[in-house]
Structure 1
Amino acid sequence: MARPRSRLNSSTEASEEICVANLSDYQAVVDIDNHVCHGLDRLPGQFSSYVDGPGVQGYTYKKGERIVGFVSALLMDGGLTLGSTAGRLAPDCRGSGMYGRFKRRLLEQYDREHPETLHYTITVDNTNNKAETDTRLLAKFARVLEKATKVVKLDVEALDNMSRQKPPGTSIRELSPSDVHAMMTRDPQHLRHLFPEGRILLRPKWLPFRIMAENTELVSDHNNVFVASEEKVSSEQKDPLFPGELLTCGGYYRCKRGICYNLDMFGTGSTQQVRAHVEWHVTRLAGVAEDCNAFVYIVYPQDLTKSMDEVTAGAPFQDSNIHYEKELVLETCLHSRDRKRSSTDIRHHACWRTTHPFTAITETDGPATSPSL
């Protein structure tokens, strides 16, 4: 059931207001900008998951009667971490500080309503230059992890060119829901070969989840499927659930250009093992792509770059001309816990006047699809 709409007016920007988003806002939010992410925008196909679900709340930013901004917020890690994603702002509103006001007010609101939340996390890609150069940003956020990315187009008709015979040492299996739950309840130290930073960065949410039981439902979101290598490659590997050193997760969504398949890779492995995982997921994609264009958005450890380049060279893969190269996860502490709480509530008309520690970061507008900055 869609949540009732609420709004919160600003005393300084009377024509701007934040509203809790619901499913009826779909078209207005999609129309904010129809030309983002090179046609691979995940928001139209998965809008419901950004406004409703465990720990999820979407917000719109209105100027007059027009919705000009959107962002989705997610409480994860059992409420310890707040992440934001799917952010966007109308092209004619950029450069005015509006997106900064939008994000700052939401952070203030969560800071008041969720005193148990200690961290705020965002994920950016290489097209967001501020993640690398903005000294104010870097002074506030710590870099938690970095992964390489590649987007390729899949020629479904050329799938027969892929090898159907598994070479030695490439046994893989699909994880069951109970396997995924077991993974998320493991001691993170036992899974450092897969998640050295203690986080599992997954699309389409595009957020890093700590290895903990409370996140099981979140990492199992949508149509994600986990696949693990079974071969034992090290006598020191003591986890029976993951004797191999390579784990992948894949899920797909429909977008403006067809279907996009998210393929997230964790751990390490030989080129043959990487190929076996990629082929498994590509075969799955081919089963749903039918006659539409298909793209594979791959996120992987930088150590696998050479193997990934080899695996995706030639048929059935084609150059997508989409040049995403890496993703960065940034995190900061919410350090205003001793500030006096106000009675401002997003469910009632009120004014936000407090100064938030993120002000310096969020005063400038991010790009059309910036989830955070």
Structure 2
Amino acid sequence: MSTDLTIRQARLEDRESVLDINDNIYNGRDFLPHFYNDLVNNHQAFLCQQHDGLVVAFVFLVAVDGGETVVGRGGRVRSSHTGKRILDKMFKTVLPNVYLPKLKRIAFCMNADGEYYINRVKKLEMLPGVKPAFSYVNSSYTGTLSRLVKRHTSEVKSNGVRHVDKSMLMRLFKSKSICENLFPDDIMGIHMVPYKPIDSNVEQIVSGSTLIVYSGDLENTRENSNIVRGLLTVGTYYYCKTGLVCYIDVFGNEVNDFSLHLSEHLDKIQSLPKNNIILYDVVTPVDMDLVIIDQEMRQVANFQKKFNRYFYYSKFIKSNL
């Protein structure tokens, strides 16, 4: 790397310089302003700056699976420095110094949103050492608080859904049949972070910014069947420059329960500081029937667009850095 560039941990006082890199990413749904302070306080955020102090790149890293997997998130590079592989150099500098000796793989997500990004996905899959992990469908909607209230007041509540705490999530993880239904790829992707369904990830999954809802079997009680029926949804909530984002990851096969799950997430939205504009992202398995989910979502919001989201693993090889 050029000697006029320095890589270091980001600090709270770097906030405005980091956000100034690019304030128009993720279709106006950038989560970094909301989570920046927590990421810095947890020593997960890194930046690259010139000798004159100008911050030219940023990324934060999340260690999951007991430290065996590191996920790069929120990466951004100043337009004047694109094409110089700065993020790649940041990974190569930070990973050996911070995450060894447990680190085995790097995980990352690519959105196939538009022709340019679809072509990037195709090129990515040709790289040696890159292994596709799984893919989801992202459906985006935009709504208002008034539409949410109108739908919600007419909803019949049900006791068929459960809020999932840490102990219940560990119980679900211990059931092989439930995990095979909810996580057939052995991955629980939450807000673009792929977690293995194991106990060491529970503390990160069940956080103050999420609501986890489950409906269905708690064990295989169906005669002559190995099939467990159930639906799990994980809502992540944050504020961006456009409004309040409700990001819902969906798992399982009981899609008819989505209406009940959505009611719980609308409850959560109404408990948060009010914002008239509400942005929804609903992320579902590629083989899930979206008709019911789309019908429910259109009661509270207008459909925006749909695109595929691809997750990859790349084996970490220290000698290559």
With the length of structure 1 as denominator, give the TM-score of the two structures: 0.76
Q: What is aligned with 1:14?
A: 3
Q: What is aligned with 1:371?
A: none
Q: How does 1:334-349 map to 2 (within 5 A)?
A: 334-336=316-318, 339=319
Q: Does the residue aligned with 2:182 lie in a helix, a strand or coil?
A: coil
Q: How does 1:239-278 map to 2 (within 5 A)?
A: 244-270=229-255, 272-278=256-262
Task: Measure, in 2, the Cα distance between the counterparts of 1:71 and 1:59.
Answer: 6
Q: What is aligned with 2:297?
A: 312
Q: What is aligned with 1:106?
A: 94
Q: How does 1:137-286 map to 2 (within 5 A)?
A: 137-158=126-147, 159-161=149-151, 163-165=154-156, 171-184=160-173, 186=174, 190-203=178-191, 206-230=192-216, 235=222, 244-270=229-255, 272-286=256-270
The alpha-carbon deviation at position 129 of structure 1 amounts to 3.1
Q: Give the counterpart letter for 2:236 in structure 1.
A: G
**Identity of paired residues, percent?**
18
Task: Measure, in 2, the Cα distance between the counterparts of 1:48 and 1:252.
Answer: 16
CA contact (8 A) 2:146 2:276 kept: no
The alpha-carbon deviation at position 281 of structure 1 amounts to 0.9
**Greater helix percent: which structure?**
2
Q: What is aligned with 1:5?
A: none
CA contact (8 A) 2:5 2:50 kept: yes
Q: Give the counterpart letter for 1:50 in structure 2.
A: L
The alpha-carbon deviation at position 49 of structure 1 amounts to 3.1
Task: Measure, in 1, the Cα distance between the counterparts of 2:125 and 2:66.
Answer: 29
Task: Measure, in 1, the Cα distance between the counterparts of 2:71 and 2:38.
Answer: 14
Distance 1:136 1:230, change over 3 A: closer
**Greater strand percent: which structure?**
2
CA contact (8 A) 1:229 1:243 kept: no
Task: Measure, in 2, the Cα distance between the counterparts of 1:135 and 1:236.
Answer: 45
The alpha-carbon deviation at position 95 of structure 1 amounts to 2.2
Q: What is aligned with 1:366?
A: none
Distance 1:126 1:135, change over 3 A: closer
Which is bigger in relative contact order (C-alpha 8 A, separation at least 6)? 1
Q: Is the counterpart of residue 122 in structure 1 residue 122 in structure 2?
A: no
Q: Give the counterpart letter for 1:24 in structure 2.
A: E
Q: How many residues align?
A: 313
Q: What is aligned with 1:47?
A: 36
Task: Measure, in 1, the Cα distance between the counterparts of 2:137 and 2:125.
Answer: 25
Q: Is the counterpart of residue 60 in structure 1 residue 37 in structure 2?
A: no
The alpha-carbon deviation at position 213 of structure 1 amounts to 1.4
Give per-residue Cα distances to partners, 1:170-212, cap 9 Å, x unaligned: 821212332124334x255641100111111111xx2101111
Distance 1:133 1:165, change over 3 A: same
Q: Is the counterpart of residue 299 in structure 1 residue 283 in structure 2?
A: yes
Gaps of 5+ in 2: none
Distance 1:193 1:129, change over 3 A: same
CA contact (8 A) 2:178 2:228 kept: no
**Partner residue of 1:327 out of 298, 309, 315:** 309
With the length of structure 2 as denominator, give the TM-score of the two structures: 0.87
Distance 1:22 1:181, change over 3 A: farther
Q: What is aligned with 1:36?
A: 25
Give per-residue Cα distances to partners, 1:331-359, cap 9 Å, x unaligned: 022234xx4xxxxxxxxxxxxxxx53xxx
Q: What is aligned with 1:79?
A: 67
